[in-house]
Amino acid sequence: MKNYITLILCACFISAFSAKPKHQYVKIKTDLGECIIQLYNETPQHRDNFLKLTEKGTYNGTLFHRVIKDFMIQGGDPDSKIAVKGALLGEGTVGYTVPAEFRDSLFHKKGVLAAARDDNPEKASSGSQFYLVQGKKFTDEQLDALEKNRLKFKLPESQRAIYKTLGGTPHLDKSYTVYGEIVKGIELVDKIAVMETDGNNRPITDVKMTITVLKRREAKKLEKEFAKQAKALKKASLTA
């Protein structure tokens, strides 16, 4: 009987240890700090492509080459690895695009990861270039005008609430694919967004990046931390 119980306990331990994290995560590291991004499962083509390029080291040494305060910071141009000071960037490519993956539940709140693209009619994403949203906060009146004059559709109330409190870039919704969000280190976006730039919105001081995929154990530890925080917040709200 004791041996049977021991076997059951071992099986449970192995099962818990081997369970996959719910999401996959990447870490972007720069001289100004680092952030951790959760990649969305709802956008599998973009998720898998970003992971593939990260594991190949494609992003290592590239720059955040386009920075606009209260809007976004853009990177991932492979040509930026060898760019001289002041060179115009943003046309680099890995030779393919990724089909758009628009999801109504994924929108341009502050801190999201989204795919850059050119003006192709299919709105297919660049194979490598991406941006992190800083954005700004909006009023109801501003969102009403945006819906009427630019978006031509109504934003859900839950998303409006976030655009009014956290902020973002709602005019990009359903035009550019959102496929992840910063879950740690969102301060990095604010630091880079206020840097001095030239006439092409390229930072005067280069901001190089290194991107790595979090290992399974790191990802599981992160998700356990998030679950603990969520539980604490729920408990606090019930006792408030």
Residue ranges per structural domain of the chain: 24-214
Count CB-CB contacts under 10 A for residue 20: 9
What CA dihedral angle connects 168, 230, 38 and 178, to 10 degrees?
-30
In angstroms, rounded to a whole number, what is the distance separating the alpha carbons of residues 115 and 127? 8
Q: pLDDT, tens digit, for every residue of 146-181?
A: 999 999 999 999 999 999 999 999 999 999 999 999
Q: pTM for the whole thing? A: 0.90
CB 40, CB 106: distance < 8 Å: yes
Report pLDDT for 235. 80
- Of 3-12, 16-25, 40-49, 221-230, minimum mean pLDDT range: 3-12
Instruction: Just give the CATH number of 24-214.
Output: 2.40.100.10
